[in-house]
Amino acid sequence: MEPHPRDPGRTAWALPCLLLLALPGVGAQAGQDFSLQQPQAKVTVAAGETLTLNCTTSGTAGPGPVMWLKGWGSGNTTIYDQSKQDSSSRVTRAVDRSDTDFTIRIRNVQPEDMGTYYCVKFVKGNTGDDEVFQHGRGTEVSVQAKPSPPLVSGPEQRARPGQSVPFTCTTGGFFPEKIGLKWFKNEDPMGGQPPRVTEWKMKTYNMSSTVTVTLQKDDILSQLICEVRHSTLPAPLRGHYQLSRVLRVPPSIEVRAEPSPVEVNQTVTFTCLVKEFYPADVSVSWLENGIEIKVENVSRPLELPRRLFELRSQVEVQATEEKNGSTITCMVVHDAQAPANKSAFLWISNPAQGGLSNGFQMSKDDLLIYIVVGVVCTVLALLVAAILYLIRTKQIKAGKSSPSARLHEPEKSSEATTQESDPNNLTYADLNFDKERKSIRRMVEMSQQSEYACIQTNQAPNGDDNLTYADLDMVHLSKAPKRPAPRPEEAGSEYASVQITRK
């Protein structure tokens, strides 16, 4: 090993010592009783703490410094040099200015400080350079590095409920390599990919793991947790991610017109309900037949208990005749997404055509139904009235007591029942007369071949206006010899017997 260059100014005072060592027996005696003890074989320290390396000497040796070296051979690094004191260095002596205790302390140890450290005694060689005189067995230093706090990252774009989104947890700078990781959603365990560990600089390691989450509408209050366990940690480390940072809940839109329909020149209030959306970034505009309507009062979203938002926007429209049937549209832009819209129509009722009065409102379809039902009910009422009138008329006619003329066959004797029935069976006909006291009727036979019988009351006036005629069906005329005509009935009788001669 090449000793470190010496300070030229120091050579002057070291020369008498070298001359003393050159005396017979002096150098040999000084080297024989010198010893160096480095008792620590292995030391483990946590990153950020102070590392203590012990080294003591006894006896005397030639002039030369004591140093601490990291590593041995051509790749060694000087950690401490007795001849160079630097107060700003993080390496200090445990016992300052001691000639026998060369214990050092290294503050704020980092993983790059891992390695094997040697305590070395140097003396001047024949060439004047420092040469290794004696060194310790070496102390192997291990630095246990804690993992950095876990960092959970999500996608750059927001996602809708029902979409699956990947999340990644990363940590690094830890030693030793073994590390554990778990995923949680609101303290409920989740299955993720096994952690992927890669070696970083200076014998430290990094780790990453990915999990996929299907977002839900109520995940605004949910959080994703990445938990890391390591031998250097007294308790697990946790990284958190609020799912509200990546969730977008589109709004539902409803448009109402109050009242509708209205009379001419009344004011109609249209209300746009933008319900249950997240985040709160939303804008609402109104259109009438595609032309924007200026709204004076701009509404702001209202937060609901579940951290969703809702918004109510209103616009007033004057119901003039030319606006009847106009389309009023509510246009909603949420979180810089494509616009969504809902529409309603402006309907105006006409009072001259059965319009609405006294605040009562009905639609055109309802009015048409009422008209049809009214017409049907009116027709049925007229039909029932006509039927009742006809029935009543018949009952009145049937109830009149008036004289009648009755055609009948003569009474048959009991002997005639065994013979052939008389073909002169006649059908009876009741002839109605005016209800008054009748005088004795007389029977007039018009002709021998006549099929008509004329019954005329007494004191018949001139003309045939007061005569009542009866058409008699002759299908039952008997071919038997003519029987004697029956005797006339009494004047008080209501019946008249008429016999029809054979053709």
381-403 pLDDT per residue, tens: 998 988 988 888 888 877 654 44
Say yes or no: 17 and 140 in one domain.
Answer: yes
Residue 383 lies in a domain: no
At 20 the three-state DSSP class reads helix
Say yes or no: 124 and 178 in one domain.
Answer: no
Give 409's DSSP letter: P
Which domain, by its residues, includes 40?
8-144
Range 159-164 contact pairs with CB under 8 angstroms and sequence separation of 24 or more = 159/215, 159/246, 159/247, 159/248, 160/215, 160/248, 160/249, 160/250, 161/215, 161/216, 161/217, 161/219, 161/247, 161/249, 162/214, 162/215, 162/216, 163/214, 163/215, 164/212, 164/213, 164/214, 164/215
Nearest Cα neighbor of 105 from 42, 51, 48, 57 is 51
Share of the chain above pLDDT 90, in %: 46
The domain total for the chain is 4
Say yes or no: 263 and 328 in one domain.
Answer: yes
- 275, pLDDT greater than 90: yes
- pTM listed for this prediction: 0.55
Q: Which amino acid is residue 452, in one-letter code? A: Y
* Domain end call among 211, 245, 279: 245
For 462-495, the pLDDT digits (tens) are 444 444 444 444 444 444 455 555 555 554 444 4
Mean pLDDT of the chain: 77
Look at 189 and 499; give whichever has higher pLDDT: 189
* Domain end call among 192, 215, 245: 245
Residue 502 lies in a domain: yes
Stretch 286-297: mean pLDDT:
91
Residue 427 lies in a domain: yes
Residue 386 lies in a domain: no
Look at 362 and 326; give whichever has higher pLDDT: 326
Say yes or no: 91 and 189 in one domain.
Answer: no
Residue 449 lies in a domain: yes
Stretch 117-144: mean pLDDT:
90
Count of Cβ atoms closer than 10 Å to residue 29 Cβ = 11
Say yes or no: 475 and 503 in one domain.
Answer: yes
Q: Which amino acid is residue 259, in one-letter code? A: P
* Residues shown for the chain: 503
Say yes or no: 310 and 263 in one domain.
Answer: yes
Backbone angles phi, psi at 122, to 5 degrees: -105, 150
Q: What is the pLDDT of residue 88?
A: 67
Say yes or no: 206 and 278 in one domain.
Answer: no
Q: What is the pLDDT of residue 438?
A: 44
- 198, pLDDT greater than 60: yes
Say yes or no: 33 and 117 in one domain.
Answer: yes
Q: What is the pLDDT of residue 258?
A: 86
Top mean-pLDDT range of 95-99, 196-200, 326-330, 465-469: 326-330
- Cβ burial of 209 (10 Å; 0-12, 13-18, 19+) is buried
Question: 136 pLDDT band (50/70/90 cuts)?
Answer: very high
Q: What is the pLDDT of residue 400?
A: 56
Q: CATH code at 101? A: 2.60.40.10
- Looking at the DSSP assignment, which residues form a beta bridge with residue 143? 45
- Looking at the DSSP assignment, which residues form a beta bridge with residue 89? none
Say yes or no: 222 and 259 in one domain.
Answer: no
Residue 235 lies in a domain: yes
Query: Is 119 within 8 Å of 37 (Cβ atoms)?
Result: no
How far apart, in Å, are the Cα atoms of 229 and each of 236, 242, 244?
5, 21, 27
Q: What is the pLDDT of residue 297?
A: 80
Question: 61 pLDDT band (50/70/90 cuts)?
Answer: confident
Stretch 132-160: mean pLDDT:
94
Q: What is the pLDDT of residue 364?
A: 56
For 430-455, the pLDDT digits (tens) are 444 444 444 444 444 444 444 444 44
Say yes or no: 156 and 202 in one domain.
Answer: yes
Nearest Cα neighbor of 290 from 324, 341, 250 is 341
- 159, pLDDT greater than 60: yes
Nearest Cα neighbor of 469 from 502, 493, 501, 444 is 444
Range 227-230 contact pairs with CB under 8 angstroms and sequence separation of 24 or more = 227/150, 227/181, 227/182, 227/183, 227/184, 228/147, 228/150, 228/169, 228/171, 228/179, 228/180, 228/181, 229/179, 229/180, 229/181, 229/182, 230/146, 230/147, 230/174, 230/178, 230/179, 230/180
Question: 69 pLDDT band (50/70/90 cuts)?
Answer: very high
Say yes or no: 108 and 42 in one domain.
Answer: yes
